[in-house]
Homo-oligomer: A and B are copies of this chain.
Amino acid sequence: MPATSPGVLRSGRLRFQPFHAHGSGSTALNVDLKNDRLLRALAREPVDRTPLWIMRQAGRYLPEYRKIRERAGSFLRLCKNPELACEVTLQPLERFDLDAAIVFSDILTIPDAMGLGLGFTDGEGPRFERPVRTRQDIKRLSVPDPEEDLDYVIETVRMVVGGLAGRVSLIGFAGSPWTLATYMVEGKGGSDFRTIKRMAFDAPADLHRLLALLAESVTVYLQAQRAAGAHALMVFDTWGGVLSGHQYAEFSLAYMQRILLNLGADYQGRSVPVILFTKGGGNWLEEIADTGCSGIGLDWTVDLGVARSRVGERVALQGNMDPVVLEAAPERIRQEVAWLLECYGCGSGHVFNLGHGISPHVDPSRVAALVDAVHELSPAYHR
């Protein structure tokens, strides 16, 4: 298949044609939301308490999730089944009084839609059968059309919007271009990233071509999720933190910036709040804030108070409890919540979350302890 031209999707459709909003119809308007704490905090507008959601909140720590996953047969089949994906998206909201839902999906849906042969091996994480290594490999790739190649995600978003019926905000998401590229080039995650870093040093033009294609793919994918009803968007830059500062600026941040610019201008003249989360990005908070994102996701190594003093006048901050805290005793969880709330201090602009996804080892009762602590302790910071 020939590569698509810039601005043209894999399906041949033009990139900037308006998407059709289906489902609840409330899509771009937040007036129907019964709980808009997430959106208010991202806009740094007053809230009655600190909003809270949990990365990977629909996940293996929940027995009801494990049941559905078993029924689906595999993680990827669960992602690709909108009814079941919608069901697991809503599960944590049934158990806990959280302030946002996040569509159940995976960051690797885009490279999967590009035909690289995604598979998940137990304990080893994702692998691609056909990694992208050469200029020819890159030239063969094209921008997936969200409404065709990723229709299952967009359909899941629509169904979740219907299922939520305005209870809380819905977050759509994608992987960052750099992070997607690491998986596509290395063929897997969590390595020493030698292959893609060598490409960055010895064939930067090829890598830039790949990243540009991915930035366009992520843009249209996020636009489609937005059009289908997502109220906020998040970009997961899981592997930006393995880069040196100038390489992060060149190969990761620049492409997240491009996505933000395109998203900002595209959708009915309204800008959608976007959270950028670079794991290990604590060194670069100022540069991330400069992109004009609404919020920065922080991993647990960043001091929340220091982060606020560095960039809190410009962006909201999301995070950043060490996920392992949820394996400690409930009173320790409460102490840690108190500590983080005190670190951030008074006023809006904080979205409570973990600094990384919740672990499968967590007992759901500990999540309840977390939710209770945030509900009980945070109002004092919003008077």
Contacts and interface: CB of A to CB of B under 8 A. Distances in A.
A97 interface: no
Contacts of A197: 322, 324, 327
Interface stretch (A59-67, A121-129, A243-251, A371-379): A243-251
Contacts of A241: 301
Contact of A194 (B243, B248, B306, B324): B324
A303 B245 contact: yes
Contacts of A280: 280, 301
Nearest to A240: B301
A154 interface: no
Given A194-B324, A280-B280, A329 B244 contact: no
Interface of A is mostly: helix
A331 to B, nearest CB: 10
Contact of A301 (B198, B245, B303): B245
Interface in A308-365: 320, 322, 324-325, 327-329, 332, 339, 355, 359, 361
B198 A300 contact: no
Contacts of A329: 201-202
A192 interface: yes
A5 interface: no
A302 interface: yes
A222 B303 CA distance: 31
A301 B192 contact: no
A19 interface: no
Interface in A281-303: 282-283, 300-303
Contacts of A248: 301
A219 to B, nearest CB: 27
B194 A332 contact: no
A303 B244 CA distance: 7
A17 to B, nearest CB: 40
Interface in A227-274: 241-248
A193 B306 CA distance: 25
Contacts of A198: 324, 327-328
Contact of A303 (B242, B283, B359): B283
Contacts of A303: 244-246, 283
A317 to B, nearest CB: 14
Contacts of A282: 282-283
A201 B246 contact: no
Contacts of A193: 324
A201 B325 contact: yes
Given A202-B328, A324-B201, A300 B244 contact: yes
A194 to B, nearest CB: 6
Contact of A202 (B243, B302, B322, B332): B332
A349 to B, nearest CB: 19
29 contacts: A192-B324, A193-B324, A194-B324, A194-B327, A194-B359, A194-B361, A197-B324, A198-B324, A198-B327, A201-B324, A201-B327, A201-B332, A242-B301, A243-B301, A243-B322, A244-B300, A244-B303, A245-B302, A245-B303, A246-B303, A246-B339, A247-B322, A248-B301, A280-B280, A280-B301, A282-B282, A283-B301, A283-B302, A283-B306
Given A244-B301, A246-B303, A283-B303, 20 more contacts: A194-B327, A194-B359, A198-B324, A198-B327, A201-B324, A201-B328, A201-B332, A241-B301, A242-B301, A243-B322, A244-B303, A244-B320, A244-B355, A245-B301, A245-B303, A248-B301, A282-B282, A282-B283, A283-B283, A283-B301
